[in-house]
Each structure stands twice: as structure tokens, then as C-alpha cells.
Chains A and B, each alone.
Chain A
Amino acid sequence: MDPWWRHPLVFWVLGLPPTAWLLGFFLIPLGIVWLFSFAELRGVIGMEVTGTLANYARALDPLYLEIFGKSFLFAGMTTVVSLVAGFPVAMAIVFASPRWRPVLLLLVILPFWTNLLIRTYALIAVLRIRGFVNFSLEWLWERGDWGLALIGLPGVLGDRFEPLELLYNNTAVVIGLVYVHLPFMVLPLYAALERLDRSLIEAALDLGASQWTAFRTVIVPLAFPGIVSGAILVFIPALGSFLTPDLLGGTDSQMIANVIERQFKGANDWPFGAALSFLLMYLTFGALALRAVLSRGRSAMDAG
């Protein structure tokens, strides 16, 4: 690696175009939104940057605090569910035979490459009142009802099948978020477990640990960096998700991104939307910083 002044021409030829692009078409747009967040509305469409903090103060309004709280709750539940479901999946892949491992890994990654919108839409098609889940349940209900009538218990399951309301509520949002983000959890867990020396698990079992104790005292502590990575990789995009609550949620399942979208596209209150979007960004950076601290804390502890 050379210091830049040794070949200044090459350095500038390489560096100028991407830096200019990043500045002009990314950092300046972000800067504009940042400035807007300190602006006041003037008339119907006008606004003026006055340096006010009112937009940020408004975010502390109980109505919006609740939405922030709900976004945290949804993202947190998504993270926990993904972790609980993803850990056995990652374990199963790591301990699969070498022939099966790449196949299983590909099967986990592949849905992640299909369009987010289409996957969410597919979920709607499956979960809606006239969707596949309810259809299957109805089929089971009919068989059960018929069977119960045969043994002299007609009508035990009710007069007719009541389809489940699986869509347009908070549960649907969490299901959708897990559906979309599960691969983000499985991959870092896989990487961490793959690196783990198997004889450590064997040693724990050999010393009398049950499978559960070995899992708790050896596998989880040693896979901890992977758990943190996976949790952050799920939590950050889940916290800022727009499409899933928009398409799967009900009126009370709005997340921060939906409120931001409304400020920009419906309510035309850009300053408030800008403030919200910067708050969301700060939360994201906070989560990333937390990961850095947690993983550094671990390695510092390992080093003594």
C-alpha cells in the first residue's frame, strides 16, 4: 500500500469520481434533509430553515413516542423470534454432512434474493382470509367435524368454520418481518458456529454437561459475537422497515418509517418528516455503536 502522494495523479483519477458522486448524490441530499429538520412550515408548500428544534420536540409527543416504542417492540420481537428460530437452523447447517451444508446454506440465502415486495405479497396471498392457511384450516375443520359427527359429537367445533384474521394486525407485521429478516440472523450465526472448535463441545459433554448445559455454558458464550452481529443485522432494517407494516399491518401497526412516509407524501410536513428520519438514523448508529462496544468488550475480556 502506497501513501497517496507517491502517485498523486493516480490517486485523484481513482478518487475523484466516486467521491464527487458520494458527495453530490448522497451526502448533500442527506444534508438537505438535515437542514429541513430545523425548518418551519411557511404557507402550504413553503418552508424556512430557522434553526428551530420544534420538529424534534414534536417527536416526543406521546403519539409519536408510542410509535417509536412500537417500532422498537416490533424490531425487538423480530430479533428474538429470528434468534430462537435461527439458532437451531444454523446449528443444523453447521453439523450437517459436508455434502448437504452448501445446499442448506443456499436454501437459506435464496429467498433473500427474491424481491422484498414480492415476498411480502406472497405472504399476503397465504395469510389472507381466503388464503392458503385458512383454506387448509377449513379443510381440517371439515374433516374434524365429519369425524366428530361419526362418533356422535356433531357441532362440537361450532356451526361453521370461522376463518382466522391473520392479516392487518401486529402479529402479521412481526411474522412478515421475521420472514424477511431470518437469513440475516442465520448467516452470522452459521459463521460463528462454523469457527467453533467442536472438541470444546465434546469436552463439556465429556465432563458431564447435558446437551442443554453445554449449549448454555459453551456454545452460546463462544457464538456470542455471531449472536450480536445477527441481532444487529436483523434489528436495524426491521426498525426502519416501511413495506411490511404498510402492507401487512392494520391501522395501529404503523412504524416510524410509515409516519415519515406520510409526512413526505401525504401530510406535506417535510420538516417533521426530516426530523423523524434523522432520529431513526441516530438510533441506527446507536445500534451499530452498541455492536462495536459489545464485540470489543468480548475480545478485551478474552484477551484478559
Chain B
Amino acid sequence: MARAPIGPLDYTRRTWMRLTLLATFVFLYAPIATLIAFSFNDSRRNIVWRGFTLKYYEQALDNEDLIEAFVNSLTIAFASTLIATVLGTLVAVLLWRFRFPGKVGYEGAMALPIVIPEICMGVAMMAFFARIGWPSDMVWPFSLSAITIAHVSFSFPFVAVVVRARLEGFNRELAEAAQDLGATEWQVFRDVLIPFMGPGLVAGALLAFTLSLDDFVITFFTSGPNTVTFPVKVYSMVRFSVTPEVNAASTVLIVLTVALTVTALWLQHRTRIKTAETAG
């Protein structure tokens, strides 16, 4: 059958539109794709394809500094995610549940960590820990505490946004019904609100985890010589040269974050469908 003729609003079917779209996606993906491809290329200097190899992954695994930085990053991400999820959820429930004087200002203050430039937050954290004399010679993992605190500070407002968006869909009559049946505030929170917030909590936690794992600028200002995270390590390596080991290590991080993101999106999508099914 012949292709259907292009109507006046079929913008996506116009050739120049498709070319723009294609060019944009090439621009967005070609660098990442080449990076991943050449982490498997059996050639150190040349970008010509010389055959498949995993040796740069082995070299990256043998690089103790890199592994240590990776372990640090994961440790910080887990700890900060835990705290940020709790704090973010408390804020979300507070703002959803109560009216109080100065609420608009309070919400504005909570949004500050999201809107101010990273560099400003980075130097603030650096100045703060230097000023109060936060001990820098603690044993691992407590040596990571400064970075973890900084990560919690910028990630918990994001968790609050995600969880609050979820709470907007909550039918308040459910809580009232539970109270009517004799449940206390705490029981309502535990038995009704927490299960409802579940998908929002997971999405918020995954967001906090990715943000922590990805952060470079703020960590850069709070990390010391013994507390190097993965992005900070990669940064110091990148400053010198482009090497296949960095390609391999980066590929691992890309795969990790993309997997986490897709999981979060999928979870949200699934709950949306479920909610729609129960509602309809």
C-alpha cells in the first residue's frame, strides 16, 4: 500500500523535522556510544577498531584507587539515600498534612537546595566543615560523614518533591475512615499512609541514590585526600588523559545509573496503571 500523504499537522513525518530529530539524537548519544564502544576496543591510542577485549575492565578492577573510590561512592549513596528518604518523607507529609504560618516561606527554603548553583552549595559545605572543625581523621566509614551530610542536604528536598506529588493523589477520606474506626495518628501513618506512599518512596529513594552517585561538584569541595569518590577519581584521571580504563569504569557507572533510572520510571509507570485500574 502507498504511504499515506502527509497532512498539514503531521510535523513528525516531514523530512527536515526527522533530520533535526536524528541530528539531536546523534548529538546526544554519539559521544556516550563511542565511549562505551571504545572501552571494548583492543587498542590503547588509536580510535580505529582493533577487536573486542575486556582487558580494560580487568585493568580497572585491578586499579585499587578506582575500586576504593567506587566503594566510597556506593557507601555514601546508601547512607545518604537512607537519611534523605526519611527526611524528605517527613517534609512531604508535613506540607501535605498541615497549614501553618509562614508555610510559603518554609516551602521556599526547602526548595533552595534545588535551585541554588552547585558551586555555591559546594563552597558553603567546604567553609562550614572547615569552620566548625569537623574531624578529618576519622576511621572509615565515618571519614565519609562530611560528604554524606552534604549529599543528604541537596537530595532530601528532591525526595520531598517526589513523595509529595504522590501524596496529592491520596484520598483523605481513607485516613478519616481509619480514624473513624479507632486508629491513632501513628496507626494511620503506619497502616494507611506509608503503604500508599510506597511507590513514591521507592522513586524518591532511587532519585536520591542517583543524585548522590552522580554528584561531582559538591563532593569535590567536601572530599579530602583519603575520601575520594568515583566521580572525583574519574575527574583527576580525565584531567590528564583519555584512557580506556576510564572508558571502562565510566561504562560501568552509566549502566548502573541507567538501570536504576529505568527501574524508577517503570515502578512509577506500573503504579500509575494500577491506580488507574483501581480508580476505573
Contact = CB atoms under 8 A, between A and B. Distances in A.
Q: Is the pairing of A and B real?
A: yes
B238 A117 contact: yes
A293 to B, nearest CB: 16
Given A116-B216, A121-B246, A36 B127 contact: yes
A164 interface: no
A54 B238 CA distance: 37
Given A11-B98, A25-B153, A95-B12, A114 B123 contact: no
Interface centre among A110, A122, A135, A270 (most CB of B within 10 A): A122
Contact of B127 (A32, A121, A135): A32
A130 B35 CA distance: 14
A281 B123 contact: no
A243 interface: yes
Interface stretch (B60-68, B105-113, B272-280): B105-113
A247 B217 CA distance: 13
B27 A179 contact: yes
B90 A237 contact: no
B120 A280 contact: yes
B224 to A, nearest CB: 12
B121 to A, nearest CB: 8
A126 B99 contact: no
Contact of A205 (B8, B47, B86, B90): B8
Interface stretch (B136-144, B194-202, B249-257): B249-257
B171 interface: no
A111 interface: yes
A277 interface: yes
Interface string B84-105: 0011101101101111100000
Contacts of A273: 123
Contacts of A110: 258, 261
Contacts of A19: 106
B110 A22 contact: yes
A150 interface: no
Interface residue range, chain B? 35 or more
Contacts, number: 239
Interface in A77-128: 85, 88-89, 91-93, 95-97, 100, 104, 106-108, 110-111, 113-119, 121-126, 128
Contacts of A29: 124-125, 127-128
A117 B235 contact: yes
A236 interface: yes
A195 B125 CA distance: 41
A234 interface: no
A257 B217 CA distance: 10
Contact of B87 (A7, A18, A36): A18
B93 A240 contact: no
Nearest to B100: A4
Interface of B: 8-12, 17-18, 20-21, 24-25, 27-32, 34-35, 38, 45, 47-48, 86-88, 90-91, 93-94, 96-100, 106, 109-110, 112-113, 115-121, 123-128, 131, 149-150, 152-153, 156, 160, 185, 210, 213-214, 216-217, 221, 231, 234-235, 238-239, 242, 246-247, 250, 253-254, 257-258, 261, 265
11 contacts: A18-B88, A27-B112, A33-B123, A92-B18, A107-B29, A111-B32, A122-B31, A123-B31, A182-B24, A278-B120, A281-B120
Closest 3 A-B residue pairs measured CB to CB? A240-B117, A29-B128, A122-B31
Given A29-B128, A236-B117, 18 more contacts: A1-B97, A18-B91, A18-B160, A22-B113, A26-B112, A28-B128, A33-B123, A33-B124, A100-B12, A111-B32, A124-B238, A125-B34, A202-B8, A236-B115, A240-B117, A260-B123, A274-B123, A277-B120
